[in-house]
């Protein structure tokens, strides 16, 4: 795939802007059907797409096959979400006793307009061309420009063609750094979404918010995803915790945004040999691309060189084009604001941090920056300590995991995949699940507006059958006919 030229980018932007009003006004069931249609097309070509992805990403076929299923399931899920309730149609009829101070007000969500999506490298399907950002923006009624990731250009072109066949002018694929930067600052683009590195995301965020007309930039950036193990949990099931930890931080060769980067264990836990043997048994594997291999190696060397940090098992080295898992060990006493240990190392490297007592564990929790997730392994007798941990961690993570592992994100109504900076640029939003659509809509209120000028969902006679909140109650009936449910 060659870089998009200035002329090609202009055509894509002009097409998206031209269709934005009509695409946003499409009946909800039509947009839903289109998302299902893309899902069906991906499923029909799954084997060919997986084979192409294997060639470009080095990811195993089983992982990629599962990711296609997740992607198509996500497309169908978001298509089903837009059944009308997500419009949040709300009606407050006028108060006849004081129509001046209490006029008739009706509001609903409307699409933002053209959305720019930056594909991720580590999920070539689920967070790429037809991934969650694209699907949620299209579901919201926004035309989409996707900037293809350079790590899988041919796969991006193939998937892009499938989406284009269904959505036409409401979808375009672009490529190249210059095209992406130019699109971010183009006045026709009304929002952008990004999954990638902290440095790259921050640069784009600054462009988006530095415009004459700043736009929302929803970036998923770097995350440490700390895991906290209480002394009781370490004693009761330490080996189980050790095994789960290694399996989680090495999943997909450590190239998942929810990889646990820090494991807090009580001093004297006695699990080092178990962790070392399990990690050593994983073996080496190729990372997504040479750039990631090099940056991971540099980050790991920086950790090795950090005062107070030692490598748990340093008996083997990486191959020429492959990387083996590594676990490093330090103590809370060695940490501090700005410690390299508290920075993400993208790849199969993680750090065990030992603490002396409950107070030191809480102090460690205060040092961790914003993360997508935080995990607690505890026992029933740990209520007091867990209460203190949760009090700290709910201000630092978007998802709290209890006696489990953070890798793997369910596509569901309650999902929150986002957290405080630097894990994402907006802790208020999620890039996965039903609420992901909310990033690409905004509320508009209509005051004392004639029925003929109101959107159909806000008229007295709700011929669409859309559930609405009317004067505080939910109804699908005529506004003045009661029928709340």
Residues 393, 395, 401, 402: is their CA dihedral positive or negative? positive
Looking at residue 477, what is its pLDDT?
Answer: 67
Distance between CA atoms of 236 and 190, rounded to whole angstroms?
52
Distance between CA atoms of 181 and 185, rounded to whole angstroms?
7
Whole-angstrom Cα Rg for the chain = 25
Q: What is the mean pLDDT of residues 294-306?
A: 93
What pTM did the predictor assign? 0.93
For the stretch 277-291, pLDDT in tens is: 999 999 889 999 889
For the stretch 103-160, pLDDT in tens is: 999 999 999 999 999 999 999 999 999 999 999 999 999 999 999 999 999 999 999 9
Angle between helices 198-209 and 177-184 (to 10 degrees): 40
The share of the chain scoring above pLDDT 70, in percent, equals 96
Q: Which helix (DSSP H) or strand (DSSP E) does residue 70 occupy?
A: helix 61-81
For the stretch 369-379, pLDDT in tens is: 999 999 999 99
Phi, psi of 413 (to 5 degrees): -70, -40
Q: Show which residues are catalytic.
A: 220, 257
Looking at residue 42, what is its pLDDT?
Answer: 98
Q: Is 151 helix (H, G, I), strand (E, B) or coil?
A: coil
Mean pLDDT of the chain: 93
Distance between CA atoms of 11 and 58, rounded to whole angstroms?
34
Q: Quick check: 317 pLDDT over 70?
A: no
Q: Quick check: 346 pLDDT over 70?
A: yes
Peptide bond into 422 cis (omega under 30): yes
Distance between CA atoms of 196 and 475, rounded to whole angstroms?
42
Looking at residue 482, what is its pLDDT?
Answer: 36
Distance between CA atoms of 71 and 36, rounded to whole angstroms?
11
Domains identified in the chain and CATH numbers? 6-221+428-440 (3.40.605.10), 227-402 (3.40.309.10)
Distance between CA atoms of 14 and 283, rounded to whole angstroms?
50
As given in the structure block, the two tokens for residue 222 are 């770097």
Q: Between the CA atoms of 95, 100, 106 and 112, what dihedral angle is there, to the nearest 10 degrees?
A: -160
For the stretch 429-479, pLDDT in tens is: 999 999 999 999 999 999 999 999 999 999 998 777 777 888 888 777 666
């Amino acid at each position: 795939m060659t870089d998009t030229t200035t002329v090609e980018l202009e055509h894509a932007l002009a097409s998206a802007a031209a269709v934005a009003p009509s695409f946003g006004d499409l009946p909800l069931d039509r947009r839903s059907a289109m998302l299902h249609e893309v899902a069906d097309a991906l499923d029909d070509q799954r084997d060919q797409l997986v084979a192409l992805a294997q060639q470009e990403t080095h990811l195993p076929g089983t992982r990629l096959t599962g990711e296609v299923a997740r992607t198509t399931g996500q497309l169908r899920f978001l298509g089903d979400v837009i059944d009308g309730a997500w419009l949040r149609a709300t009606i407050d009829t006028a108060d006849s006793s004081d129509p001046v101070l209490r006029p008739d007000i009706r509001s609903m969500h409307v699409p933002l307009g053209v959305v720019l999506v930056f594909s991720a490298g580590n999920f070539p399907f689920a967070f790429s061309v037809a991934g969650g950002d694209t699907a949620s923006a299209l579901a919201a009624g926004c035309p989409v420009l996707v900037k293809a990731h350079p790590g899988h250009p041919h796969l991006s072109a193939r998937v892009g063609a499938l989406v284009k066949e269904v959505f036409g002018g409401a979808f375009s694929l672009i490529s190249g750094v210059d095209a992406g930067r130019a699109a971010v600052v183009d006045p026709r683009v009304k929002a952008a979404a990004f999954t990638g590195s902290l440095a790259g995301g921050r640069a784009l965020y600054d462009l988006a918010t530095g415009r004459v007309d700043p736009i929302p930039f929803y970036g998923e950036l770097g995350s440490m995803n700390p895991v906290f193990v209480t002394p009781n949990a370490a004693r009761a099931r330490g080996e189980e915790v050790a095994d789960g930890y290694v399996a989680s931080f090495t999943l997909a060769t450590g190239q998942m945004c929810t990889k646990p980067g820090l494991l807090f264990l009580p001093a004297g836990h006695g699990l080092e040999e178990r962790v070392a043997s399990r990690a050593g048994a994983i073996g080496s594997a190729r990372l997504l691309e040479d750039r990631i291999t090099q940056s991971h190696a540099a980050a790991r060397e920086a950790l090795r060189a950090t005062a107070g940090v030692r490598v748990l098992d340093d008996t083997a080295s990486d191959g020429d084009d492959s990387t083996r898992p590594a676990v490093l060990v330090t103590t809370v006493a060695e940490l501090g604001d700005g410690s390299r240990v508290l920075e993400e190392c993208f790849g199969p490297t993680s750090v065990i941090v030992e603490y002396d007592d409950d107070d030191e564990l809480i102090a460690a929790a205060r040092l961790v920056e914003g993360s997508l997730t935080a995990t607690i392994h505890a026992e029933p007798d740990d209520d007091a300590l867990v209460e203190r941990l949760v009090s700290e961690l709910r201000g630092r993570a978007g998802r709290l995991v209890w006696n489990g592992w953070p890798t793997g994100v369910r596509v569901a109504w309650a999902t929150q995949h986002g957290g405080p900076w630097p894990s994402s640029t907006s802790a208020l939003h999620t890039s996965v699940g039903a609420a992901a659509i909310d990033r690409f809509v905004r509320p508009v209120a209509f005051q004392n507006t004639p029925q003929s000028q109101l959107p159909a969902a806000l008229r007295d006679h709700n011929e669409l059958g859309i559930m609405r909140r009317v004067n505080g109650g939910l109804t699908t009936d005529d506004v003045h006919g009661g029928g709340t449910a």
